Amino acid sequence: MAKIMVVNCGSSSLKFQLFEMDNEEVITSGIVERIGYEDAIFTIKYNGKKETKTLSVPTHNEAVALLLDNLLDKHIVESLDEIKGIGHRVVQGGSYFDSSVRIDDDVKAKIEELIPLAPLHNQAHLIGINACMKAMPDAGETATFDTAFHQTMPAKNYIYPIPYEYYTDHKIRKYGAHGTSHYYVSQRTIEYLGHPEHSNVIVCHLGAGASLCAVKDGKSYNTSMGLTPLAGVMMSTRCGDIDASVIDYLDENLHMSIKDITNMLNKKSGLLGVSGVSGDMRDVKAAADEGNERAKLAIDIFIRRVADYIGKYFVQLGKVDAISFTAGIGENAPWVRKLILEAVGQALGIVIDDDANENGKGERLISAPESKVKVYVIPTNEELVIARDAKKILNL
């Protein structure tokens, strides 16, 4: 019975899921938060229980050791030899990787080379990879890249209209993100459509980070995030698309540093920046319901930006067979889905089944029979994709 661990390392966190691959069951999952602090938080779920404790976790090496010790102490595994593979999520794979790969020194070198394109993420991924290799040298390790799915985009959709040498010499181009989620949801959508020879699908991954993807015949054709996850639609605290001259204006007139501007655009903008209330859509909705005009405006902009991208991708694809919603907002906020679909419904011939949208659970069709475009809610499962890829690559 092959077990595979899926690991997602952030700069101060380590998320994990352990899969029993015979039935693709999650045996245990959890997270180590606040790595590097005396009051780090370790949470583990297993056998229907959830345990949390606070302790000192100086580095990712200790986080991995903590995780493995708990797997043994709680008899989730009797021996670490049961874990045959470890699949790592890696945010930025650049143009090097169009699929998941087994990790070797060359792969690690390329992940390191790409740190400037994702400084927080790729650095943390490398630390996590090395920590896991040190703790479990006999387990095969694989990397699944958020950017890989988008490597099928045509050049006209990823080259920026700036001097071409910035692309050739410095790798500045659109890479996109959420690729593993867009892949999973688009493939599930195509299954619901009956595996037609040709298909056009738009996936709306709407969470704290949000992106859309136009999927043509099962391959990414265009996506809303860019060189980094800052581009595209409005998000929880990220601005999405804006005039690049805003940066120069803030520098010249408000004497803000590029670092401060970038921090503001990433962490103080979006729903939080416009509403002044929160980056959490639930809080913004509550404030709007109480009459907060800025909260209402934040929601209006969010809906408008997503609807605009759906319209853009409809034109680029020529026709759309299905639109699928996923991630925190996409899966759990029927009122957001309704507003977005109403914004594009007349133009695209979409008719919503209000009962299915409001009251259903899990994967489901939420468009009415007469709708010209099918609309689905499909909870994403990036970890399962990573585990499946690891199993395939490692021949488990």
**Residue 29 pLDDT greater than 90, yes or no:** yes
The interaxial angle of helices 293-317 and 281-289, nearest 10 deg, is: 120
- Convert 136-149 to b/e letters by CB count within 10 Å (16 or more is b): beebbbbbbbbbbb
State how far the Cα of 109 lies from the Cα of 381, in Å rounded to an integer. 28
Q: What tokens does 378 get?
A: 């499909």
What average pLDDT does the segment 307-318 reach?
97
State how far the Cα of 235 lies from the Cα of 217, in Å rounded to an integer. 28
Identify the DSSP state of 148. Answer: G
Higher pLDDT, 38 or 274: 274
State how far the Cα of 339 lies from the Cα of 356, in Å rounded to an integer. 15
Place 212 in a pLDDT band, splitting at 50, 70 and 90: very high
Place 162 in a pLDDT band, splitting at 50, 70 and 90: very high
**Residue 219 pLDDT greater than 80, yes or no:** yes
Q: Which pTM was predicted? A: 0.91
Q: Enumerate the known binding-site residues for substrate.
A: 89
Question: What distance lies between CA 326 and its chain's CA centroid?
Answer: 10
What average pLDDT does the segment 115-129 reach?
84
Sign of the dihedral through C-alpha 209, 213, 219, 222: negative
Place 108 in a pLDDT band, splitting at 50, 70 and 90: very high
Backbone angles phi and psi of 182, in degrees to 5: -60, -35
**Domains, the chain, with CATH or none:** 3-145 (3.30.420.40), 196-377 (3.30.420.40)
How much is the mean pLDDT over the chain? 93
The predicted pLDDT at position 102 comes to 96
Q: Enumerate the known binding-site residues for Mg(2+).
A: 8, 382
Q: Enumerate the known binding-site residues for ATP.
A: 15, 205-209, 280-282, 328-332
SS3 396: coil
Catalytic residues: 146
